[in-house]
A and B are shown apart, each in its own frame.
Chain A
């Protein structure tokens, strides 16, 4: 066990040590911390989660954000939250802390994408007392497209994999990381349970990270991992993933939400999940 303190916290002491999250702000960052998790949101990263760590600092996930590269702003053109500078807004209430950022999606050089129109967005991260981070995101176009297909997703990175898991419609899956670069588990191929949808990664240090109840309006047609074949993956919670076109209405916000739950082991995670 590389991080015994964190794991002890995660494993057994939650009930005793649970406390309201603390908030730390600098001009460039906002950090929320509770007894289990610590998240850092960066202003120059579109207000997206830059790091998710255990309370004692083990990096679990990084590089979150929204992006599209097909269908909305032209083929192969990256437009996302990464290059955007925003002012995160922090609120706290009854044992919960929330950081929310808003802006317009931009190209890699930081210029707001204008063609066919601007796309406003928000990113919101909420931490309570437990090992659960709630993520909400939304995108509001200023333009209309009758039928849009392409790619548009909330994404992030996950290092140090020992396995991928999913509660599928057919049963529970825990599989080895891929040895080659490419998509691995995809809910579009193997749908998640309708009642209890969760999927995630098992890390080399035994920690399990689950993405629970991923939902969207419009629905998320694909939640998947793209692995590099060397033990790291990116997760994607996609509104658009090719396939069936969706109408995009000006001023109407596409919404997404997911809970990221962390547990010291897959076994323990399963106890926590329905």
Chain B
């Protein structure tokens, strides 16, 4: 029976069987099936159970959902019987809603199906009404789509769109029962896309829930999938009280896969979820800088000084291209724990100082955001006394605390208004232009919710409502305010201009240092492409590599990758952000990058396409940005190797032709080569240096406002001969604008002048802060007297000046004799100085943690500095950023503050170059490890007391390792300095790349090292505790070990209490250590990689006390890797029962074999949990254990130390993957002492035939 009613029907609710149809919408109520349809789709309901039976694409006649009719119940366990107890239809403007009541087990569940005229979209809402009270809280509500698949199609595939790594699964490869969830839970739109190319039909299903967080899960079935959207709602059932949840939105799509994604994204418009439009252009153009006027997080917000001091830095931000400044909280109280929202922190200055800072920023074209803290103030604010109802409660009714503060109920209208009033107050008082909103996603459960709210609505719903209140109140005062929500999820974009891209910034990018760039970049491109489609159209996300809540990006990625990723953040859609002084070492690059971003509309407001342009180099990511007729093609080299790329742009994809220009390259760089194929494709040939990026524009498009490169003001003088003389006792070598002076009394390099600039001086050489000879006074070469200084014979190496002398402790005790040599050679007429020292101990040194330090000053008038390391290059203006020149210890173990670079932050053991550019444009380059021994550490700072210059400190011995020198034994040290080099960066400064070794090669990609030695490949990270990312036979073969760490999670450190008061195990682990030191040793027959540090809590922020040190060394042999693992608890614990182990991740394996006490056992890897344990069974005389996959590939661990472990075992998970545990401690009583515990073993990759 099918009936129609006209458009003018005024009936909004009609009983069953009184069938309405509006426009093309029809309703049919049958005994078996009830359907609602328009010309685009038909929804079928089981008339008996009320379950969703089918969704059909009417133009093609193909069903995209064909369910069995059993009704997956939305709550708890499946009840025995579910019955349809009513169906109604309701008319809305342009739409019809069919409401289906299902009854079961004390509940009525009403599912609303809303369809619109002619639209192939469906909105499915759920309301639950209990028929009786309950005293048991319920959690989790499900909306299920059963039997999803394009009917009759043989090529159907599906994807959970936010998955990392991105993947699509063909229905031909479905494994019934396998489940795939969304990777980022509440942060995404929970999109599941099903599509058939042959049918050109798809179904996009997503969840728009504005009350609680949600999630998606796919369960694979035979020939179809089940999609389940879960809403994380917690509530107490009350008879007759209806609980409503968000909307499941579905679109039947036509066209190809990407077209389906585009249609799916439009679903957000059905629920009006679009970002604020009035400030959209303003937000698009934003380039953010985040800082606290007190100082950096590293210093505990103390190393800048307050409003006035920070205001002085604003011109630097303007130069950088920053146009929005987010000031971390400046309210009275600890930074994120305000005591008074209406007062400024007096440590930062006065309100007038604050206002002056904002005014100065405005003068410079920088908008200023405050930091809104809706989670609540500290207890001493008195808020709990004034407004107890605003404060959340625990289950027992007591006050709930969060982040050390009173936890205020985001969902309480009173608190929302208070936040709105507070937000606008500072807009009025100091002229703020908006806020970054802390913890903007709401908070944990409030067990005494306001009004009819659910306890769980203090989360997502409350967070969004606070944003609404802040925006509405501020917009009454100032129209163009910006809101940046510290939250991720589409719902927050209704009121915030931007949300955090946590999925990208804290998760997806963090996989970069684990994977080979050639593997990673294609996945990243696909994921970035997908990400656009699970966000509302026009959504703007904040892109950052670090902030005050994270470790510094340079520690994580290394300098080169950081540079490349900063370019990525500027070239893709979203808002790039720089965190306080992150620009150190990057500033000139960022200046150019952000000038481009600001001045090219396609870059800040254009659509992005990550897949259309292909590059023959997989480590290069491309993105095509389009706005109208303007296009920019970005290319980012995420590898440490130069990439000669060929980019192919399909015909029609580019709006411009006839030449491209790389706007990120210097004008002097060769232009990319352009050609067009017969088929009309554009081909661009481009070479990208390690970690460099390109922004290709039409050759005709001149970007305004790009900074120009500094000019060389004088040609480098050249010389053909050198003269020597003595001047006042000093020895002088001169020629062609160069003058080298060696001190006559001590033989120290007094000065080197070149082209009129004092380009190098040695200020001191001797014991550093830790004495080597343990004397009463420091031993220093500069205080030596009586040296003999002579000019040697000219040789092929150059003209040497040699000095000899003795150094004593000032009390007449000679510690060592020294010989220094300074050899000047001319290369193309420009000087090169080779400096060498030989220190021969007269007094022996026995097991002393002593240091030996040389301090050099480069040109005080230098305008720029640069450092080239194995992990990439840093380059900056000579701008001292920190007000103090003193080293201090901050958030991390390593000192921070005055040094702009320190060697120990990167892999050591490889050459390093430091450079300064004089005002005349010429570079001086100091080369370390260029044939000489490398210092243990080195650093660059820009200030020393009152003096400014690039100061280089070479710690030949850093005092961290014991030194032994016999009497008569000699230390040999040295380096080379080149003068008068031209160019934007001196040639050869870049160190990243691939090194050929005797049996293979080594490649460093930022913080990741790969070594291939014949049949053995290792990839490990400096960041993350020397984690093994892969062990394999070769870099392209499947890993047989994937992931490793050393950790303890019980028995040593006490459990953790989470910010919301839960007690959880404290995972203290090496793979969250951001300060891992790494060293490469290529001196032996096999390459050796060493790493070390301290175990960290799981987010890497703190090192639990007492510390636990670890060291791990991998000797990569031709057929096996020697692993030496050491841990040292800095504590004495007797009879401790604890867990402490190294783990190795194992890909899916099918068998394992162990050399057990009772003989060699081979078993199938079946079941889950611990498979075999040495603790019970015991190893045999020669312990080993191995595992193999179905192809016979696997690995063996062997070595006598295994027998000394409390336990060694294999653990298998449900996915078939495993973990090998090598446990120093596994519950048996043991004494912990501050001594190194050592585990040495051999890790041997096994082939199928071994």
Q: Please report A residues at the B interface, Cβ cutoff 8 Å.
A: 147, 149, 162-163, 165, 168-176, 179-180, 182, 187-189, 191, 194, 202, 206, 219, 221-222, 241-245, 265-267, 270
Q: Which of B83-91, B419-427, B550-558, B1130-1138 contacts A (4 or more CB under 8 A)?
A: B1130-1138
Q: Are A149 and B961 in contact (CB under 8 A)?
A: no
The contact sample of 17 A-B pairs, CB cut-off 8 A, is A162-B776, A165-B774, A168-B849, A170-B849, A171-B847, A171-B963, A173-B848, A182-B889, A188-B1131, A189-B1130, A191-B1130, A194-B1233, A206-B776, A241-B1105, A243-B1104, A243-B1106, A244-B1052
A171 and B849 contact, Cβ closer than 8 Å, known pairs A188-B1105, A244-B1133: yes
Measured in the bound complex, the distance between the Cα atoms of B1233 and A187 in whole Å is: 12
Return the CB mask of B1126-1144 against A: 1 if under 8 Å, else 0.
0010111100000000000
Nearest 6 CB-CB pairs, A to B? A191-B1234, A243-B1105, A171-B962, A219-B1132, A171-B847, A176-B769
Distance in Å from the Cβ of B1225 to the closest Cβ of chain A?
Answer: 14
> Would you list which residues of chain B between 923 and 974 have a CB under 8 Å from chain A?
959, 961-963
Return the CB mask of B1094-1116 against A: 1 if under 8 Å, else 0.
00000000001111000000000
Query: Interface size on B (CB < 8 Å)?
Result: 33
B1054 at the A interface (CB under 8 A): yes
Q: Are A175 and B1132 in contact (CB under 8 A)?
A: no
Return the CB mask of B755-769 against A: 1 if under 8 Å, else 0.
000000000000001
Q: Are A170 and B1235 in contact (CB under 8 A)?
A: no
Q: Are B1130 and A188 in contact (CB under 8 A)?
A: yes
- B residues near A242, Cβ cutoff 8 Å: 1105
Measured in the bound complex, the distance between the Cα atoms of B1106 and A165 in whole Å is: 21
Q: Are B1234 and A194 in contact (CB under 8 A)?
A: yes
Return the CB mask of B124-145 against A: 1 if under 8 Å, else 0.
0000000000000000000000
- B residues near A176, Cβ cutoff 8 Å: 769-770, 778
B888 at the A interface (CB under 8 A): yes
Q: Are B849 and A244 in contact (CB under 8 A)?
A: no
Interface centre among A162, A169, A171, A267 (most CB of B within 10 A): A171
B510 at the A interface (CB under 8 A): no
Distance in Å from the Cβ of B899 to the closest Cβ of chain A?
Answer: 15
Distance in Å from the Cβ of A190 to the closest Cβ of chain B?
Answer: 8
Interface centre among A162, A176, A182, A266 (most CB of B within 10 A): A176
Measured in the bound complex, the distance between the Cα atoms of B1131 and A48 in whole Å is: 28
Residue of A nearest to B1053 (CB): A244
Q: Are B1105 and A170 in contact (CB under 8 A)?
A: no
Q: Are A171 and B848 in contact (CB under 8 A)?
A: yes
Q: Please report B residues at the A interface, Cβ cutoff 8 Å.
A: 769-771, 774-776, 778, 847-850, 886, 888-889, 959, 961-963, 1052-1054, 1104-1107, 1128, 1130-1133, 1233-1235
Measured in the bound complex, the distance between the Cα atoms of B771 and A39 in whole Å is: 31
- A residues near B959, Cβ cutoff 8 Å: 173, 175
- B residues near A222, Cβ cutoff 8 Å: 1106
- A residues near B963, Cβ cutoff 8 Å: 171
Q: Are B1105 and A267 in contact (CB under 8 A)?
A: no
Q: Are B848 and A149 in contact (CB under 8 A)?
A: no
- B residues near A175, Cβ cutoff 8 Å: 769-771, 959
Measured in the bound complex, the distance between the Cα atoms of B1105 and A189 in whole Å is: 9
Provide the main secondary structure of the chain B interface.
Answer: loop
Q: Are A174 and B1104 in contact (CB under 8 A)?
A: no
Measured in the bound complex, the distance between the Cα atoms of B850 and A169 in whole Å is: 14
Measured in the bound complex, the distance between the Cα atoms of B963 and A243 in whole Å is: 32
Distance in Å from the Cβ of A237 to the closest Cβ of chain B?
Answer: 14
- A residues near B850, Cβ cutoff 8 Å: 174
Distance in Å from the Cβ of A79 to the closest Cβ of chain B?
Answer: 22
Residue of A nearest to B886 (CB): A180
Q: Are B847 and A189 in contact (CB under 8 A)?
A: no
- A residues near B771, Cβ cutoff 8 Å: 163, 174-175
**18 additional A-B residue pairs with CB within 8 Å, beyond A169-B1234, A174-B770, A179-B886:** A165-B774, A170-B849, A170-B961, A171-B848, A173-B848, A173-B849, A175-B771, A180-B886, A194-B1233, A202-B776, A221-B1132, A241-B1105, A241-B1106, A243-B1131, A244-B1133, A265-B776, A266-B776, A267-B776
Residue of B nearest to A176 (CB): B769
- B residues near A194, Cβ cutoff 8 Å: 1233-1235
Measured in the bound complex, the distance between the Cα atoms of B848 and A163 in whole Å is: 15
Measured in the bound complex, the distance between the Cα atoms of B1106 and A221 in whole Å is: 7
Distance in Å from the Cβ of A256 to the closest Cβ of chain B?
Answer: 14
Residue of B nearest to A215 (CB): B1132
Measured in the bound complex, the distance between the Cα atoms of B1233 and A194 in whole Å is: 9
- B residues near A149, Cβ cutoff 8 Å: 1054
Measured in the bound complex, the distance between the Cα atoms of B1052 and A180 in whole Å is: 33
Q: Are A189 and B848 in contact (CB under 8 A)?
A: no
Distance in Å from the Cβ of A10 to the closest Cβ of chain B?
Answer: 15
Residue of A nearest to B1094 (CB): A189
Measured in the bound complex, the distance between the Cα atoms of B848 and A164 in whole Å is: 14
Distance in Å from the Cβ of B844 to the closest Cβ of chain A?
Answer: 13
- A residues near B775, Cβ cutoff 8 Å: 267
- A residues near B1234, Cβ cutoff 8 Å: 169, 191, 194
- A residues near B961, Cβ cutoff 8 Å: 170
- A residues near B1131, Cβ cutoff 8 Å: 188, 221, 243-244
Q: Are A244 and B776 in contact (CB under 8 A)?
A: no
Residue of B nearest to A245 (CB): B1054
Distance in Å from the Cβ of A53 to the closest Cβ of chain B?
Answer: 21
Distance in Å from the Cβ of B748 to the closest Cβ of chain A?
Answer: 21
Query: Which one of B774, B776, B889 lies within 8 Å of A270 (CB-CB)?
Result: B774
Measured in the bound complex, the distance between the Cα atoms of B1133 and A106 in whole Å is: 30
Q: Are B962 and A170 in contact (CB under 8 A)?
A: yes
- B residues near A163, Cβ cutoff 8 Å: 771
- B residues near A182, Cβ cutoff 8 Å: 889
- A residues near B1054, Cβ cutoff 8 Å: 147, 149, 244-245
- B residues near A147, Cβ cutoff 8 Å: 1054
Measured in the bound complex, the distance between the Cα atoms of B1102 and A242 in whole Å is: 13
Measured in the bound complex, the distance between the Cα atoms of B1130 and A189 in whole Å is: 7
Measured in the bound complex, the distance between the Cα atoms of B1053 and A147 in whole Å is: 12
Interface centre among B778, B849, B1104 (most CB of A within 10 A): B849
Distance in Å from the Cβ of B1206 to the closest Cβ of chain A?
Answer: 20
- B residues near A221, Cβ cutoff 8 Å: 1105-1106, 1131-1132
- A residues near B1106, Cβ cutoff 8 Å: 188, 221-222, 241, 243-244
A173 and B888 contact, Cβ closer than 8 Å, known pairs A189-B1130, A206-B776, A221-B1132: no
Measured in the bound complex, the distance between the Cα atoms of B963 and A163 in whole Å is: 19
Measured in the bound complex, the distance between the Cα atoms of B1128 and A182 in whole Å is: 25
Q: Are B774 and A189 in contact (CB under 8 A)?
A: no
Q: Are A189 and B1107 in contact (CB under 8 A)?
A: yes
Distance in Å from the Cβ of B809 to the closest Cβ of chain A?
Answer: 10
Distance in Å from the Cβ of A262 to the closest Cβ of chain B?
Answer: 15
Interface centre among B770, B775, B776, B1131 (most CB of A within 10 A): B776
Distance in Å from the Cβ of B779 to the closest Cβ of chain A?
Answer: 12
Interface centre among B888, B961, B1131, B1233 (most CB of A within 10 A): B1131
Distance in Å from the Cβ of A263 to the closest Cβ of chain B?
Answer: 12
Residue of B nearest to A179 (CB): B886
Measured in the bound complex, the distance between the Cα atoms of B1234 and A52 in whole Å is: 31
Residue of B nearest to A178 (CB): B769
Distance in Å from the Cβ of A148 to the closest Cβ of chain B?
Answer: 11
Distance in Å from the Cβ of B1092 to the closest Cβ of chain A?
Answer: 13
Measured in the bound complex, the distance between the Cα atoms of B778 and A174 in whole Å is: 10
Residue of A nearest to B774 (CB): A174
Residue of B nearest to A243 (CB): B1105
Q: Are B776 and A172 in contact (CB under 8 A)?
A: no
Measured in the bound complex, the distance between the Cα atoms of B1070 and A74 in whole Å is: 33
Measured in the bound complex, the distance between the Cα atoms of B1131 and A169 in whole Å is: 12
- B residues near A171, Cβ cutoff 8 Å: 847-849, 962-963
- A residues near B1104, Cβ cutoff 8 Å: 243
Query: Which one of A174, A188, A202 lies within 8 Å of B1107 (CB-CB)?
Result: A188
Distance in Å from the Cβ of B962 to the closest Cβ of chain A?
Answer: 4
Residue of A nearest to B1103 (CB): A189
- B residues near A244, Cβ cutoff 8 Å: 1052-1054, 1105-1106, 1131, 1133
Residue of A nearest to B1054 (CB): A245
